[in-house]
Amino acid sequence: MKLRWLRAPGIIRRLFPDFVWRYNSGEKKVYLTFDDGPIPESTMWTLDLLKEKGIKATFFCVGDNVRKYPNLYQRIVDDGHAVGNHTHNHLKGWYNNTQKYVENVILASEFIESKLFRPPYGLIKRSQAKYLQTDYKIVMWDVLSGDYRQDISPERCYRDVMKNVRPGSILLFHNHLKSEKNMRYTIPRLIDELHAQGYEFGVCH
């Protein structure tokens, strides 16, 4: 069985204490986030569901996807959701030098107007983070859904997220084809159950 971290280990959080891992304000509120979009197949469904449920979320967008689907990106904004930069080409920070990585983020900023940034895969070097933090707030997550994993069932995805939710949690899901089965099953149930438990939904800031 593959090792699965639903939360980033404490040692990683301590290495990057300036990143936002959770909004610990004491409010019974969670923050639903979606990485990697926009894409028509997944993002459109997500937006329709969020509109039906009356909640807002945060979309960390890939610049090249925004370039390809500008109308879909505009709908995210028009629907009142928050957006963040997720690089232009979904780069892994650990495998790219700082100049190339930062230039890719800057390229994405030509399509995404936001001061929020999330590194793809959660992989970022200290040098990259130091440079980007002059312009961006780096937002990570408190609960990783694992919706992209093909070795877990949709019900397992839902149960694992629910077991780890707490006030202030930033929940990470994805808008890409690989995650659709688990995401489409989990998100509606998650929203209904958290509402039943008295949670509100906020956007990253």
205 is catalytic: no
Q: One of 81, 86, 88, 174 is an active-site residue; which one?
A: 174
174 is catalytic: yes
Q: How far apart are CA 55 and CA 50, in angstroms?
A: 5
Note the residue count of the chain.
Answer: 205
Q: How far apart are CA 143 and CA 140, in angstroms?
A: 9
Q: One of 35, 36, 142, 147 is an active-site residue; which one?
A: 35
8 Å CB contact between 83 and 58: yes
- Name the residues annotated as catalytic: 35, 174
